[in-house]
Structure 1
């Protein structure tokens, strides 16, 4: 009868223990890019505060409503209000804000 040798294993190094061991968490992903956000010394900048308030009021529709307000101000000729709402829209949804800015620039060119 042949003899087989099986080395003893400690429970800490068994394959099951290695699978069940907790892995250290990796670094969190950041989809905002590497540029740090400049915040005034008084805390959160006013546009971000307004964007958060807009989101609290309107939920997922907040960016669309901000876009509507920006367009309404633009067509009323109120440039300051348009820039304000555009900033809020851009804070809530960057791509929507960029599209809105391009469309308003095209409207300005067509109006001339």
Structure 2
């Protein structure tokens, strides 16, 4: 039982729940764009990234992460490599 609780604690630390505002935005994205919601959020994040808008990039990255953690991780790695907002 203790091992299970420890594992759950590690999962929560490694994968924190999105902020309520981001989760709400992700749900709205999904309602509007369906299965393509994460891709749309990624595109918005990329647009903000290339415009140099750091806060909007982070917002959309968070929405993307709430919808598709892997897609967001790839986007964040690419952004980090290019030395832009991140």
Shorter-chain TM-score tier: 0.7 to 0.9
Does residue 90 (structure 1) correspond to residue 65 (structure 2)? The answer is yes
How far is the alpha carbon of 1:38 from its aligned partner? 5.8
Flag the structure with higher helix content.
Answer: 2
Note the residue ranges of structure 2 that are not aligned, 5 or more in a row.
1-6
Structure with higher RCO (Cα < 8 A, 6+ apart): 2
The structural deviation recorded for 1:107 is 1.3
The alignment of Structure 1 onto Structure 2 pairs a total of residues equal to 73
**Partner Cα distance (2:83, 2:33) in 1:** 29
**So what's the TM-score if we normalise by structure 1?**
0.59
Ranges of 4+ aligned residues in structure 1 off by more than 3 Å? 36-39
Question: What CA deviation, in whole Å up to 9, does each residue of 1:37-82 have, x standing for no partner?
Answer: 568xxxx710000000000000000000100000000000100000
Q: Which runs of 5+ in 1 are unaligned?
A: 1-32
Q: d(CA) in 2 for partners of 1:100 and 1:88?
A: 12
SS of the equivalent of 1:72 reads helix
Alignment TM-score, normalising by the size of structure 2: 0.77
Pick from 23, 42, 60 the counterpart of residue 48 of structure 1: 23
Structure 2 CA distance, aligned partners of 1:89 and 1:57?
A: 14
Corresponding residue of 2:33: 58
C-alpha root-mean-square deviation of aligned residues, in Å?
Answer: 2.1
| Aligned counterparts, 1:8-47, within 5 A | 34=8, 35=12, 45-47=20-22
